[in-house]
Chains A and B, each alone.
Chain A
Amino acid sequence: MRKAPALVVVLGVFAALVTTVPIGYLAVRLIQGWQAALAEILRFRTLELLGNTGLLVLAVTASALVIGFSQAWLTTKTNVVFAAGFAVSAALPLAIPSYVMALSYISIFNGLSGFFAAWLVLTLATSPLVFLAVTAALARLDSSSEEVARTLGLGKLQVLLKVTWPQVRTAATASGLLVALYVLGEFGAIALLRYDTFTRAIYNAYRGSFDRTSAAALAVVLLLITLLVIWFERKYRGEYVASKKQLGKKLRVDLGIWRLPAALWLGLIAIFSTALPIASLVIWSIQGSANLDLGVLLDALWGSVQLAGLAGIGIGIFGTAIALWSIRYRSRLGQIVEWSSWSIHAVPAIVVGLALVFFGANVTPWIYQTSWLLLIAYLILFLPNALAGLATPIAQVPVLLEEVSQSLGVPANKSMARVVLPIALPGIVAAVSLVGLTVLKELPATLLLRPSSLNTLATRLWGATEDLAYSQAAPYALLLVIIAGLPALALNLQARRALSEVRS
């Protein structure tokens, strides 16, 4: 077993310690009121919430996997028309915060609510996560085994199911995990669409009754569900294996008579996930632009970009260290650190935010209400997003190259820095963009922890909807979507890069 570099260990352990702050906070709350907490958990309502939440998580994860996978496969491996255009529209919803998606749907379809509404909006909001992960895996896939299968007489569908799917299964299930945890911790869209889940109950416990014990009790149940979901995903997805080979050639599937239906399917999804919400935002923005204060808008834009940039780079560094540790060194401690970063991922942002308020105000007042504590909150909330994006590029750097480098006398740590990281760099940049764009959309923790004078597009958007003027909120939402759209498009290009390299 190789030993991980000290820097990797220090960064990894720091990140793991930071994620224990919310867990410690929940423990403090539970110990202070364990009887009330137990009473809260042992109510029939908990069971009801469990059912509601489980149903939504399963439904959204399944449909996001189907949609995201079909988009990825059709646009990278087949001769479907407008493949590049459809790929862009498949990635773009990532830039639309789910609460904005929900708002625009409510504005189009009056009174939209309940399970179906929540399922629809969250499926549209999360399938880009699957699309991007699967596209990246497919684009880097070596087609030789598919070709062998074809020559052995397997049909196109059989090749897809028996040869292609197993090779991208790891990437797909990892993105499915992100989707499931996203749904578990989602509040904004679910509140707007009025579907009751654990997370909504946690928010209501804080906001309705200032009942921190009940909220903590429910959050702990959510934490346990998260661990269960992660355990299932790990059991099913198999391991990331460091690749031995270089990229091979690509095979494209001729859809034949299915070319048109496939394009219609992609077009239909594009209308619902991208065209409708953006059209409604543009219409509102035109109505609201009259009252817009440009200075305020630019100030919020600067705040957003600054935070997202810093958080993206910071989390990228921590994430790279942890991914290297758990994939290329395969140490037990490294894996524990990775698990602990994932465990807190579905805990609602308001819980993480309040945990850091408690910790910051009472233990580390010198960073309380500064950007530092906010950045730590982002690290806790979004490290798993980075890890999900980093695992594939880091695993796919051929082990052989590292071995060659070492046989030429370069020390192990230097080989890592000079060979592995540069090759994985495009993937790392993609993960950083993904984190940056997620930070742009974050609201609850930002409101609780930001320096009082710092505003972001998301906080301005919140302020405008509090004033009940949706038209005034729209310009902020639109600008947020445009800004977040840039990394989303970059991610799409990045995922398809390997594809164009071979085609051109």
Chain B
Amino acid sequence: MKKTLSYIVAGALALSLTACSNPLDEDKNSITVYAGRSESLVQPLIDSFQEETGIQVEVRYAGSAELAAQLLEEGQNSPADVFFAQDAGALGAVSKAGLLIQLPDSILEKVPASYSAADGSWIGVSGRVRVLNYNPQRVSQLPQSVFDLAQPEWKGRVGIAPTNASFQAFVTAMQVIEGDAKTLQWLEAMKENAVLYEKNSAILEAVESGAIDAGLINHYYWFARGQEVGFENLTSKIGQFASGDVGNLINAAGVGIVADSKAARQFVEYLLSETGQRYFADQTSEYPLIDGVTAPVDLTPLAEIPAPAIDLNDLDRLDQTLDLIRAAGLI
């Protein structure tokens, strides 16, 4: 069984290698996209792409991590042409398995290099900022640093989501900037202090309802909630830490090509077009990443976010991050 399987895999590999050496598939008129972002968000944009280009797009919606696991299991036989993921970690895992092609420079140069993979295997589509979500009645003075949350005064008051990809990416950034020892110390303090949640949305819910006083989330959850119930009805606010603090990390959702074709490239280009970028900025309050498209007015411009200096490409050491989070007993 295993032998047959390896023959089949080897055969498939050989086939796909020959496919790679062929010139770009110009005539392909339908593509399959694995989308880790939600259908209600992405589908309208894909519909207008289909209308404008006549290219048929079949979309498979699931969680980014599940789709990454699916791509890894499918290997070279994946039916996917494009992987559009919620976070850099999922793209990194697929890229490390050698399943993403290197994007052409014409695409890569659209976005500042700090929002894409170093090897050019995926490119950032929209940006998000880590923020402190807090209840202003309970938190009168914002902490200066995310490390302040390790103080005993925060015991039982702050929410984190240790299994969530954005939280883990933030911990990786902390490791890169502050080192393993300091990060582990902070995580251990959070094991004492923090209330644990599964998702950002659950943290926001808990801060809104008063179950906890503050939580670490991505900025757009708060904006989405405000749009759903009206900003005037929100109890909580969002704020940043002091300048350069790792708690203000900027991260990106991105896209990579699994099977190269003109249609797949067109799709990626569409996400990075002015239409695509404006759509994300308007719909999700995320940050557009190309020049010339500005964020919605109520959003602090990306350049003014007191973000830490870090290369996003360094956020691909999730294994070590997980070891630390586990060592601290948080997952």
List chain A residues, Cβ under 8 A from B9: 362
Chain B positions within 8 Å of A447 at CB level:
62-63, 66
- By a CB distance below 8 angstroms, the chain A residues around B89 are 210
B residues 305-326 touching A (CB-CB < 8 Å): 318-319, 322, 326
Known: A354-B69, A354-B70. A210 touches B198 (CB 8 A): no
* A463/B39 in contact, CB under 8 A: yes
CB of B198 within 8 A of CB of A466, answer: no
Q: Mark A9-33, 1 if CB is under 8 A from B, else 0.
A: 0000000000000001000100000
The 8 A CB mask of A208-248 against B (1 = contact, 0 = none) is: 11111000000000000000000000000000000000000
- Counting CB contacts under 8 A, is B266 at the interface? no
Check if B69 sits within 8 Å of A368, measured CB to CB: no
Please state if B163 and A363 are interface contacts (CB–CB under 8 Å).
no
Question: Given A362-B8, A362-B75, A466-B63: A452 and B32 within 8 A (CB)?
Answer: yes
Q: How far is the CA of A369 from the CA of B197 in the complex (A)?
A: 33
Q: CB distance B8 to A363 under 8 Å?
A: yes
* Contact pattern, B 69-109, Cβ under 8 Å of A = 1, otherwise 0: 11011110111000000000110010000000000000000
Stretch of B123-131, B221-229, B256-264 lying at the A interface: B221-229
Let me know if B65 and A361 touch, CB within 8 A: no
Interface size class of B (residues with CB under 8 A): 35 or more
Q: Is the CB of B60 within 8 A of A206?
A: no
Q: Are B59 and A452 in contact (CB under 8 A)?
A: yes
CB distance B221 to A468 under 8 Å?
yes
| Residue contact A28 to B2, C-beta cutoff 8 Å | yes
Supposing A110-B209, A212-B72 touch, asked if A362 and B77 sit within 8 A by C-beta, the answer is yes
Closest chain-B Cβ to A295's Cβ sits at a distance in Å of: 14
Cβ-defined contact, A208 with B318, below 8 A: yes
B93 touches A210 (CB 8 A): yes
Compute how far the CA of A466 lies from the CA of B195 in the bound complex, rounded to whole angstroms: 21
Docked-complex contact B65 and A463, CB < 8 angstroms: no
Is A350 positioned at the interface, with any CB of B under 8 Å from its CB? yes
The residues of A that contact B326 with a CB separation of less than 8 Å are 45
Q: Is there contact, CB below 8 Å, between A362 and B72?
A: no
* Residue-wise interface mask of B (177-199) relative to A, using a CB-CB cutoff of 8 A (1 in contact, 0 not): 00000000000000000011111
By secondary structure, the A interface counts as helix
* Centre residue among B69, B72, B206 by max chain A CB count within 10 A: B69
Q: Which residues of B191-250 have CB atoms within 8 Å of chain A's CB atoms?
A: 195-201, 204, 206, 209, 211, 221, 224-225, 228
Residues of B contacting A371 with CB < 8 Å? none
Docked CA distance A492–B199 (Å): 37
Which residues from 183 to 218 on chain A have a C-beta closer than 8 Å to any C-beta of chain B? 191-192, 194, 204, 206-212
Q: Which residue in A210, A362, A368, A466 is a CB contact (below 8 Å) of B68?
A: A210
Q: Is B168 an interface residue (CB 8 A)?
A: yes
Given A204-B331, A463-B39, A466-B63; A211-B319 close (CB under 8 Å): yes
Is the beta-carbon distance between A206 and B65 smaller than 8 angstroms?
Answer: yes
A210–B2 Cα distance when bound, in Å, is 23
**Known pairs A447-B66, A463-B61; A361 contacts B211 (CB<8 A):** no
The residue among A24, A208, A361, A453 with the most chain B CB atoms within 10 A of its own CB is A208
B27: min CB distance to chain A, Å: 22
Residue in A207, A466, A468 whose beta carbon sits within 8 Å of that of B163 in the complex = A207
Closest to A360 in B: B74
Considering the chains assembled together, what is the distance between the CA atoms of A365 and B12 in angstroms? 11
Known contacts A463-B39, A467-B38: A453-B58 contact under CB 8 Å = yes
What is the interface of chain B mostly: helix, strand, loop, or mixed?
helix
Q: Determine if B69 and A212 form an interchain contact, defined as CB atoms under 8 angstroms apart.
A: yes
Interface flag for B40 (CB, 8 Å): yes
Q: How far is the CA of A211 from the CA of B41 in the complex (A)?
A: 29
> In whole angstroms, what is the CA distance A76 to B62 when docked?
45
A363–B5 CA distance with the chains assembled, in angstroms: 7
A469 is an interface residue with CB less than 8 A from chain B: yes
- Minimum CB–CB distance for A287 against chain B, Å: 10
Contact status of A208 and B168, CB under 8 A, knowing A361-B74, A362-B75: yes
B255 shortest CB reach to chain A, Å = 17
Chain A hits for B59, CB < 8 A: 452
Q: Which chain B residues border A452 with CB–CB below 8 Å? A: 32, 58-60
A357 within 8 A of B: yes
- B70 contact set on A, CB distance < 8 A: 354, 357, 448
- B residues 157-187 with Cβ under 8 Å of A? 163, 165, 168
**CB within 8 Å for A467 and B206 given contacts A362-B77, A452-B58:** no
Q: How far is the CB of A180 from chain B (nearest CB, A)?
A: 24
Closest to B323 in A: A209
Most buried by B among A191, A444, A467: A467
Contacts of A111 in B (CB 8 A): 195, 206, 211
Bound CA span A192–B198, Å: 7
- Check if A466 sits within 8 Å of B38, measured CB to CB: yes
Query: Which of A110, A209, A369 contacts B322 (CB under 8 A)?
Result: A209
Contact A362 B66 (CB under 8 A): no
**When chains A and B are docked, how far (Å) is the Cα of A195 from the Cα of B186?**
23
Of the candidates B40, B66, B79, B198, the one whose C-beta lies within 8 Å of that of A350 is B66
CB-based contact A362/B5 at 8 Å: yes
Chain A positions 364-393 with a Cβ under 8 Å from a chain B Cβ: 365, 368-369
B69 touches A206 (CB 8 A): yes
Let me know if B1 is at the binding interface, CB within 8 A: yes
Determine whether the beta carbon of B224 is less than 8 Å from that of A207: no
A191 and B198 within 8 A (CB): yes
Among A363, A463, A466, residue most surrounded by chain B Cβ atoms (within 10 Å): A466
Q: Complex: how many Å from CA A430 to CA B132?
A: 52
Q: How far is the CB of A434 from chain B (nearest CB, A)?
A: 27
Query: Which B residue sits closest to A194, measured CB to CB?
Result: B196
Could you tell me if B331 and A208 are in contact, using CB atoms closer than 8 angstroms?
A: yes
Residues of B within 8 A of A191 (CB): 163, 198
A368 contacts across to B, CB distance below 8 A = 79
A110→B198 CA distance, assembly (Å): 14
A358 at the interface (CB under 8 A from B): yes
Given contacts A191-B198, A208-B168, A468-B199, 15 further A-B contacts (CB under 8 A): A111-B211, A207-B66, A208-B318, A210-B65, A354-B73, A357-B70, A361-B73, A362-B12, A447-B62, A448-B70, A463-B39, A463-B40, A463-B61, A466-B63, A468-B201
11 pairs, CB–CB < 8 Å, chain A vs chain B: A192-B198, A206-B65, A207-B63, A209-B322, A350-B66, A361-B77, A361-B78, A362-B12, A369-B60, A468-B200, A468-B221
Binding site for A on B (CB under 8 A): 1-2, 5, 8-9, 12, 32, 38-41, 58-63, 65-66, 68-70, 72-75, 77-79, 89-90, 93, 163, 165, 168, 195-201, 204, 206, 209, 211, 221, 224-225, 228, 318-319, 322, 326, 331
- The list of the 10 closest CB pairs from A to B, nearest first, reads A468-B201, A207-B65, A210-B93, A361-B74, A452-B60, A358-B73, A357-B73, A361-B77, A111-B211, A209-B322
